[in-house]
Structures are given as C-alpha cells and as structure tokens.
A and B are shown apart, each in its own frame.
Chain A
C-alpha cells in the first residue's frame, strides 16, 4: 500500500465570526498550501467535509483559489465528516490516481442547540426527545451507576480541557475555570453541566496530503505519515448516542469507537500504548472519559481513574485534548476532525509551544457523532 503523508496544514480559528464560509474556508486552504510550498494549480483533487453548509460548498469555497478542472466533492458523515473526507483523499492517493490532494473542513453554524430536524424525526422533536445532550447524559448516568464514576471526575475533564485551551490561539473559549465553577454551572441534562459541554460554532481546517514519493520529489518539510484512516458506522444497537428511539437489551455489538479503534490500530500496526497524544470527541466531558476506555487507554469502567491520576494531562502518559478539545474550541462539525489533525501535525512537528507534548512521535484524532458515525486518523512522524 502506498504511504500517504501530510505535507501542509492550515487552520482558521474556531469561534463566531462575521465572515462567510468562503472566507474562512479559503483562509485554511491557502494556509495549508503555503505550508506545503505548493500552488493551488498543483492540487489534483479536493474534498470538503461539511454538514451544515449547502450543496457544492467545496466548489464554492475552493474555486475562489483559481480556475481548475479537478474534482471537488463534499463529504458528510455527521460529526465524523472530517475523518470520512480525509479517508477519501487517502484512498485517492493509495489508488495511484492522485499524487497530491487537498482535504478541507469548513462549517458555519447557528448559535444554540443544533437544529433537531437535521437528525431527528418530527415526533421525537414534538415529544422533547431531540436534545443531543440528553443522550450523552443518559450514557453518563448508566456509567456512573455501573462503575461508580463521579460528577467530580467528569468535571475534572472539563477543567483539564478549559485549562489546556488557554494556550491555543485557535480555540473559541480560552479561559480557565475552577472545579467549583464547573460543578456550580447549571445542569443542562443531568449529570452534564453547562461548562462540561461543547457549543456549535464556525471554523475551518485543511491539510494537503500526498504520496510519500511526491513528498520526496518536492522535498517536503517534515512530512507526517497517515498511518491509519478509518471511518465506520455503528452496528445495530451498538450506540444510543443520538438520534435513537430504542436500543436492544440483548444484542451486544461493539460500539463505534471500539470498532474504529480496533481497525485503525490494526492498519497502523500499533496500539494505544504507542500513541503519544490524542485529540478526541469531547462533545461533553463524560464522552471523553468513556473514550479513554474505548480507545484502550484503560479497561472498561476505569476512565475516572485515568483523570484522577493525571494520565491524560499534557504531562501524563496519555495526553488527551491538548488543544482544549471541543469543549473549548467549539464544534464546527465539518471542520472539527481536520482541526484535530492540524493539532496533531503541530504536536508531531514539535511546534505546539506551551501545550507541546514532549517528544510526541505518534498521535491519534477521533470523532464520533450522529448515526453511530466514527472516524479515527492515526499520524506518525
């Protein structure tokens, strides 16, 4: 199989801006091109990850960079859109058809809870069963019941991510909160609180990827290998995150993150113990705790212990969400995975400043969302 490498990365800060999707998208794309030392005319195919932007947004954003006859395709897989788009780029290169590809994630979203009509049926909306955090919270309640996970452990994850964000100029919120402030913030859906949850926003991030041969030919600076690129949909009843109307009490299918991690580790030929830094889907603080277990950083039920022992701090054995996570950056759905990938690239290049994981050589980016969509990208220096 052809080795695929990232040769350029770019990002437009996540937050709320009085700018169009074209403006923030082309900013990230041009930054990735400049980082790769390439011109737009060098790119042979492009993929846009987005969920809320309208049809053909990829072409609308990227045609502004100059006339082209390359294929430009929009990809949507809910919160995992970015991983699905990156995988299409990787496949285009592995197939031998392309040497160099642009993968862009861009989004502009309304404030407040996401429009429920995007993923729920009318009856679920009418009955009040359409608040995404209510599903995350039901998972948290069950985990607390089965394993004794506590409110304090969940709050500690939010505390860590808010504190990490202070050093990330691309985050929407860059403010440290005390545990008291987090535990004192209003409940959204028990046990999840306002300061433990992410907000939708705007943002864009992009990578230029190429075959390893192409990267050598142009003398690319610090290419980063895409060692694993996997996107999956959860099997029947393997996930009740949302939208769900029921789940089986008898079927025992592997959850979306577990399946995706298993395949991604296999593709990369490594395990959780080999990964130096992680960026994961902390739509809510509990979600991150559960992901520790599902990415095999610890046995099931011990996610709370990991945060208690500081294992997932920037200085810990398994640093998670050095960027501040979605809790601080917000979740511009289509852009969020590419944003994680740009963070990992910066970590592996040793360019992350105060949030740098010392000596990071392998990093993993994980997204998870509606319909049991999950994507994982593993990067290696």
Chain B
C-alpha cells in the first residue's frame, strides 16, 4: 500500500520508498514504517523493525518538512552509475531530521554553499529523463 502506482512510464528510484501517484509529483511523499513494539520509525515500507526485530510494524507517511541535522558538499563526481547533472556539478547532501524521529540521507537542493545545519527543507519528488522518480530536499521558501 505504500508503493506508488505507476500509471505511466514512471518508476520509483527504489520500491517501497515513496507514497502517492508517481505521475502527480506533488502527491509523492516518503514512506515510513513504525514499530508497535519499540515505537521506532524507519525509512520505507518495512516488514521488520531493524531496532528490535519485531514484525509488528505498520506503515506511516513521513512529513515533507524537516531540518538539516548535518550535511556536506560532494565536490567530486560520485563513482559508478551516477545519474545527476552532466557535466558534474557539486551538490549538497544531508541528513534531514523529520518530526517522526528519523533522519534521512538525501540530496539538498539549491546553492550547495548556502546549506547550514538547522535549515528548514522540504521534500520534493522529481522525475529524471529516464522516468525514474527520485527526491531532493529543497530549502523551504
């Protein structure tokens, strides 16, 4: 139920990671799971809690808005099958802390040199030319 329904040629960058309809990017959010046994929230649609091992886990939607807990700027092209801008442009990645008690590793949009710890950012789904829907956290307006 957390998997998006691909109505067109769109595919999620990873199955179980997103909610909403992929052909309506504004409806897309991050999927989360919460454990009834220990209360831990984890990223994506999970059937086991990696904190305590319980299988009493249910899906929750993760908030779109979060704060940068830490970050860095990637200044060299990542190795392997990187699908970002060509020619390579330095970009920021961060751990974005969400109110559900989870920090998500993600690219942070906008000027990489303007990113700061504590900055408010917002989940934004984006579709690549190959139809894959991925995500970025953009500075909140």
**Chain A residues engaging chain B, CB cutoff 8 angstroms:** 112-117, 121-123, 125-131, 134, 137-142, 145, 186-192, 236-237, 240, 244-251
Contacts and interface: CB of A to CB of B under 8 A. Distances in A.
Which 10 A-B residue pairings sit nearest by Cβ, starting from the closest?
A: A137-B72, A142-B70, A123-B14, A246-B43, A113-B79, A123-B13, A126-B83, A189-B72, A250-B101, A236-B51
Contact of B51 (A123, A240, A251): A251
B79 A139 contact: no
Interface in B56-86: 69-76, 78-84
B71 A248 contact: no
19 contacts: A116-B78, A116-B80, A126-B134, A127-B84, A128-B91, A128-B107, A130-B80, A131-B74, A134-B72, A138-B70, A138-B72, A189-B74, A190-B73, A192-B72, A240-B103, A245-B105, A246-B95, A249-B97, A249-B103
B43 A117 contact: no
B104 interface: yes
Contacts of A141: 70-72, 117
Most buried by A among B39, B81, B132: B81
Contacts of B76: 113, 131, 188-189
Contact of B117 (A145, A192, A240, A250): A145
Contact of B79 (A116, A138, A186, A251): A116
B75 A187 contact: yes
A127 B13 contact: yes
A246 B104 contact: yes
Given A130-B80, A245-B43, A188 B75 contact: yes
Contacts of B98: 249
Most buried by A among B43, B76, B81, B84: B76
Nearest to A140: B72
B127 interface: no
B102 interface: yes
B79 A134 contact: no
Interface of B: 13-14, 17, 39-44, 50-51, 69-76, 78-84, 91, 93-95, 97-98, 101-107, 117, 132, 134
Most buried by A among B50, B71, B95: B95
Nearest to A193: B75
Main secondary structure of the interface of B (DSSP, over half): strand
B82 A126 contact: yes
A138 B71 contact: yes
A244 B73 CA distance: 17
Contacts of A145: 70, 117
Contacts of B91: 128
Given A189-B74, A236-B50, A246-B43, A126 B81 contact: yes
Given A126-B83, A248-B101, A250-B40, A190 B75 contact: yes
A187 B73 contact: yes
Contacts of B117: 141-142, 145
Given A116-B80, A246-B105, A251-B40, 4 more contacts: A127-B84, A127-B106, A127-B134, A130-B82
Contacts of A244: 105
Most buried by B among A122, A141, A187, A246: A246
Contact of A248 (B51, B73, B94, B134): B51
Contacts of A139: 70
Contacts of A186: 75
Contact of B78 (A131, A137, A142, A237): A131
A243 to B, nearest CB: 9
Contacts of B42: 246, 248
Nearest to B94: A138
B79 A131 contact: yes
A41 B87 CA distance: 57
Most buried by B among A117, A123, A240: A123
B82 A125 contact: yes
A249 B102 contact: yes
Contacts of A188: 75-76
A145 B97 CA distance: 15
B81 A122 contact: yes
Contacts of A116: 78-80
